Structure 1
Amino acid sequence: MASCLVIGANGFIGSHLVDELVALGHEVTAFDRFSGGGPPMYSAVGVRQFAGDFLNQADVAAAVSGQRFVFHFVSTTTPATAEDAPTLDVRTNIASSIELFQHCVDAGVEKLYFASTGGAIYGDQGGESFAETALALPVSPYAIGKLAIEGYLRYFGTKFGLDSVSFRISNPYGPRQRANKKQGVIPIFLSRIAAGEPLVVFGDGSMVRDYLYVGDAVRMIGQTVGRSTRESVYNIGSGEGTSVRALLDVVTRVTGITPLVEERAVPSTFLQHVVLDAGRFRTEFGYDEFTDLEDGIARTWETLAGGRR
């Protein structure tokens, strides 16, 4: 059993990660603001809850103290908010991440695990899929910030010996993903169908993404905990590309509802084709049990208010 601190534990991926780490037998501290007043998003019991603000360095330092492993799974921005205010991402996400890494060094943390992005970090370069050896050429402020944080992790490793690994996660989806965050086309589609609203599609629906069920993502990450990693960066994705048109077909079958669709112009920073090659991860850790897209969307639909299979 290892002491694990999950920063961003009341978020979408973070809450599922808490559940996975507890299931693996680890001692987990969940760090988040927990400002909603309701129960936490994770379902595991026996979790130590630490209410704090990622932007408050006293809170972060106190939470990191005594932890063996730290999971940096919080983001102060989304792709949309970072694009609207790029300097906000720099002043909050990047700056606070650097301060977190220093606290980890000071506290003697054994390893830091970072949730980067695979859905946007490679940019539009053509090709069927991206391996970690491909150039990272992000064009959106959100992905640029993630790449900068990866760079600072290399710096802290070189200068201070902080061991770390970055997970470039593709396009995760599943229960607990909040459509009001305007991040993730699957929860947005499902929530709009549940509300009887039209779906917005950018362009002709030919854009391709690598959709990964959140349970698969956290199981992959959980396999690395406490183990040495040969590399500092791993793609976390299914390796399967799905167009928006094909995704519309799936959500129509799952919900039994044919939605109205509104086509809009493609924003300049949207990428046409992003599929991840997760061969590096599978070679080292052997994961190859991905949830079928239709099954994953059905599970997600069932969790929505008014949703039905």
Structure 2
Amino acid sequence: MADAVLVLGAGGFVGRHLVTTLASHGVPVIALVRRPSAELSPAIETVTGTFDTPAELSPLLSRARAVIHTASRSTPGQTAGLPIAELDANLRPTLALLEALQSAPHCELLYLSSGGTLYGETNGRAACEQDSIRPRSYYGAGKAAAEHFIHAFCMQFQRSAVILRPSNLYGPGQNRRSGFGIIPTALDCVKSQIPLTVWGDGTSVRDYLYIDDFIQLCLAILGRPIPAGTHIFNASSGVGVSLNSLIDEIRDVTGATLNIVHDTGRTVDINRVVLDPGQASQEYDWSPRTSLRRGLEFTWQWWIQQA
């Protein structure tokens, strides 16, 4: 019987949290990783591979009732000016998964897209799922293309999928990644006692969602059958915070000075990205429970415990 949940990208920040939480709830999990991860429990079935072809994925999908696609091999900055790199890093594995899913009619799909790179400027209001998507980066364009392929897959084969567009996720276990994730970058700078480089003047506004709150939404989605078709939901706090305000919060939580070095803003960046989580709240009776201050405290405690 196909009762496992397959997690693609289980070695990443979101994937590790998903796999660990699912396993703690007694859900059989198959964790797909590109390289062995010591952070995953030996009790969790882990499969290592590239997962760029349907042949790699098909035998695993036959054992799963759902697949969660969390894998991402690039950042907006890494593929700037390199559209083929975005194709190879992210779009090709997604299309391989869709092709393999054609032979696994019992398996539902939960895909992690991107809220921050899809909507573009929204003139001071929170973006909702019905808004047009206007990605500036090749990374965002790749996410948009993946969403359209998933929609086509569901239409052609009468399948079910949920697409989540998360805002800026953060929390314990999120390591610094060049050009991606201001919170782990800032906390690493605090711990290493080095200046934090900020693109622009710090007035840009973002929406931050604590990882545990995001995982609870994923569990709610997996907790009942997904209706036929493609269903898109923002996953966010709905609260906009300027970068300067975020830095002030980090200084308060850590008790550190955190010196700032300003650099020229990047063309791939957007001034304001805040998402409206109302549809997810209505559909799944979900809402974020962790304030930014509390989430930063939890995250900082994890950082100072690292060697």
Do the aligned partners of residues 223 and 23 (structure 1) sit closer, same or farther apart at CA in structure 2, a change above 3 Å counting? farther
Question: Could you report, residue by residue, the CA deviation over 1:140-178 in whole angstroms, capped at 9, with x for unpaired residues?
Answer: 111110010000001111112231110001000111112
Q: Using the alignment, how far apart are the partners of 1:276 and 1:117 within structure 2?
A: 11
Assess if the C-alpha contact under 8 Å between 1:55 and 1:96 holds in 2: yes
Please state if 1:71 is matched with 2:68. yes
Range with bigger deviation, 11-20 or 59-68: 59-68
Count the aligned residue pairs: 304
Whether contact under 8 Å (1:29, 1:50) holds in the other structure is yes
Q: Distance in 2 between matches of 1:257 and 1:182?
A: 22
Partner of 2:149: 152
Aligned amino acid, residue 13 of structure 2: F
Aligned residue for 1:304, secondary structure, equals helix
Q: What is the one-letter code of the residue matched to 1:146? A: K
The range that moved more, 50-59 or 165-174, is: 50-59
**Matching residue of 1:9:** 10
Are positions 1:55 and 2:85 aligned together?
no
Name 2:20's counterpart in structure 1. Answer: 19
Give the aligned residue type for 1:265.
Answer: T
Farther off after superposition, 251-260 or 289-298: 289-298
Does residue 166 of the first structure (1) align with residue 163 of the second (2)? yes
1:131 & 1:71 partners in 2: Cα distance?
23
Partner residue of 1:115 out of 107, 112, 125: 112
Whole-angstrom CA distance in 1 between matches of 2:210 and 2:288: 11
C-alpha distance after superposition, 1:174-221 (max 9, x if no partner):
111120343100000000111010011222211000000111111111
3-state SS in 2 of match to 1:159: helix
Could you tell me how far apart the structure 2 residues matched to 1:150 and 1:180 are? 25
Residues in 2 aligned to 1:2 and 1:66: alpha-carbon distance in whole angstroms:
7
> Structure 1 length normalisation: TM-score?
0.92
Percent same amino acid among aligned pairs? Answer: 32
| Shift of residue 75, structure 1, vs aligned partner | 1.1
CA RMSD in angstroms comes to 2.0
Amino acid at match of 1:70: V
Greater mean deviation of Cα atoms: 104-113 or 170-179: 104-113
CA apart distance, 1:306: 6.1
SS of residue matched to 1:108:
coil
1:57 Cα deviation from its structure 2 partner: 4.2
1:225 to 222, 227, 231: 222
For the 8 Å contact 2:129–2:233, the answer to whether it is kept is yes
Counterpart selection for 1:140 from 131, 137, 147: 137
Letter of the structure 2 residue corresponding to residue 298 of structure 1: E
- The aligned counterpart of 2:34 is 33
Which residue matches 1:102? Answer: 99
Q: C-alpha separation between the residues in 1 aligned to 2:9 and 2:83?
A: 21
TM-score (norm 2): 0.93
Following superposition, the deviation at residue 305 of structure 1 comes to 4.5
Distance 1:32 1:112 in 2: 18
Matched-pair contact (CA < 8 Å) for 2:81–2:138: no
Letter aligned with residue 118 of structure 1: G
Q: Mean alpha-carbon deviation: is it higher for 58-67 or for 170-179? A: 58-67
Q: Write out per-residue CA displacement over residues 58-90 of structure 1, whole angstroms, 9 at most, x where no aligned residue.
A: 332332232110111101212221215221111
**Structure 2: 5+ residue runs without aligned partners?**
none
SS of match in other structure, 1:82: coil
The runs of 4+ residues in structure 1 deviating greater than 4 Å are none
Q: Counterpart of 1:287 in structure 2: which amino acid?
A: W
Decide whether the 8 Å contact of 1:12 with 1:177 is kept in 2. Answer: yes
Q: Which segment drifts farther, 206-215 or 225-234?
A: 225-234
Residue aligned with 1:148, SS: helix
Cα distance in 1 for residues equivalent to 2:278 and 2:226: 14
Q: Name structure 1 gaps, 5 residues minimum.
A: none
